[in-house]
């Protein structure tokens, strides 16, 4: 399978715990994106990497959130001290080449905070 891969698929944790998600983009894609989707809404942009550089962060990304892409390949998204409002689907996408290229999404990680 050469698509975007995310794991875990599901994560259930207690409020206050830290969680980390992983995304492996399509191998030749240099751009990687994180989005968050809650029920009844479209996905909302969180952050964006071009190779290993994090070029943009949404105001939605509070200081409890951090994302890395250390070698310009896979990326991790960590949420510290989780809150119930963090419950959502976290989607990773990747794209190739310059701007305006379509983004291809992974299956997502569904986070549930108890």
- Shortest CB 31 distance to another protein, Å: 7
CA distance 32 to 6: 12
- Shortest CB 43 distance to another protein, Å: 5
CA distance 94 to 31: 5
Which C-beta is closer to another protein: that of 29 or that of 80?
Answer: 29
CB atoms near residue 47 (< 10 Å):
21
Which C-beta is closer to another protein: that of 13 or that of 58?
Answer: 58
CA distance 109 to 63: 20
Which C-beta is closer to another protein: that of 13 or that of 50?
Answer: 50
- Shortest CB 34 distance to another protein, Å: 11
In three-state secondary structure terms, 86 is: helix
The residue ranges that bind another protein (CB under 8 A) are 31, 33, 35, 40-45, 48, 55-56, 58, 91, 93, 99-100, 102-108, 110
CA distance 66 to 98: 25
């Amino acid at each position: 399978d050469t698509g975007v891969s995310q794991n875990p698929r599901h994560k259930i944790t207690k409020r206050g715990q830290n969680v980390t998600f992983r995304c492996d983009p399509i191998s030749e894609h240099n751009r990687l994106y994180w989005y968050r989707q809650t029920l009844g809404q479209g996905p909302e942009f969180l952050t964006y990497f071009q190779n290993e550089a994090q070029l943009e962060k949404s105001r939605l990304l509070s200081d409890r959130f951090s994302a890395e892409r250390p070698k310009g390949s896979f990326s991790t998204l960590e949420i510290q001290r989780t809150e119930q409002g963090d419950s959502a689907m976290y989607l990773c996408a990747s794209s190739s080449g310059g701007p305006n290229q379509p983004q291809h999404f992974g299956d997502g990680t569904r986070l549930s905070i108890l």
